[in-house]
Amino acid sequence: MLRVASFFAGIGGFDLGFERAEMQVVFQCEIDPFCQQILKRHWPSVPIHEDITTLIPTTIPAADLWCAGWPCQDLSNANTDRKGLTGERSGLFYKFMELVAEVHPTWLVLENVPGLLSAEQGTALEAVIDTLEAHGYLGGWVSCNAVHTGIPHDRDRIFFIASFRSKRAYRIFTDSSELSGDSTARKSSRTQAGSSVCESTIRDTPLVVQRRGGFGYTLAKSICPTLRAQTGGHQGGHSDRPILCGEKLDVDRVGKADGVSPRMDGRRGRLLGNAVIPAIAEWIGRKIIEIETLAQKESSIV
């Protein structure tokens, strides 16, 4: 069973997905106190370190895979003053890689927002790839949307998958056009599902949604746009769909429209908006296990 160390763990999206893929979570690092409570509830025996800047490599349990959805605030397109990887929060990527350089886990799986592709005039993406290669990691990146997992929610994220001094990770990218973890029923109806999405986009009545500097409209009623949150000068990518700028979250209204839990509030909305989709993590985890199993069989034959 592959062992996982989770950094910037949040509420455990990566952790849950990898666990469903039959991996074992052995370590977590998360600074948010409320997130820590959630992690301790679901992984009571897993040690949690609070601050990655004070983390010592020798205290991290042995793990085959390290995952990290590092902070996106300085990379997000929703931030009009984004500083990219030179920012205080998104720049923690380099602190994470310092730890990687000391331990060299077999696999790395990283996640961030699509804004990474354009941040710093496109050089932020190059910096991430160059840093991974400089530390001996080979692989690539893929864009995965929550919609691909069957969830009616438009939420695109970038995932980096790399293996240490090995080309094993390349095998994942030969089959990255769809999430192979889809159910048989979903596979058989993929063409119909795609067309229904297009139809709903054309025929549905426009909805008012939050936009930078005001509000706008969307026709995609059947698919919820990315959740948004607005705090001070930064409007992140995490709020519910039919909400105007500056308007209080109407849980009853959103609950009836989208099935949102009555326990939802601004804090929970922010944490959900930051979380990795477990189904995507599970798909990645199962692909890695397939590759590892195949590699073991090949080595035993030799």
- Say what the pTM is: 0.77
pLDDT at 209 over 50: no
pLDDT at 210 over 80: no
Which one, of 34, 62, 29, 64, lies nearest residue 47 by Cα?
29
pLDDT at 175: 58
Average pLDDT estimate for 24-53: 97
Which one, of 183, 41, 21, 287, lies nearest residue 9 by Cα?
41
Only one residue has tokens 């069957």, namely: 150
Distance CA 15, CA 42 (A): 10
User: Would you give the DSSP letter of residue 88?
Assistant: T
Residue ranges of domains in the chain: 3-184+277-301, 189-272
Mean pLDDT of the chain: 79
- For residue 143, give both structure tokens: 């864009």
Class of domain 3-184+277-301: alpha beta
Which segment of 12-16, 73-77, 193-197 scores lowest on mean pLDDT? 193-197
- 217-226: pLDDT as tens digits: 444 445 555 5
Average pLDDT estimate for 287-297: 94
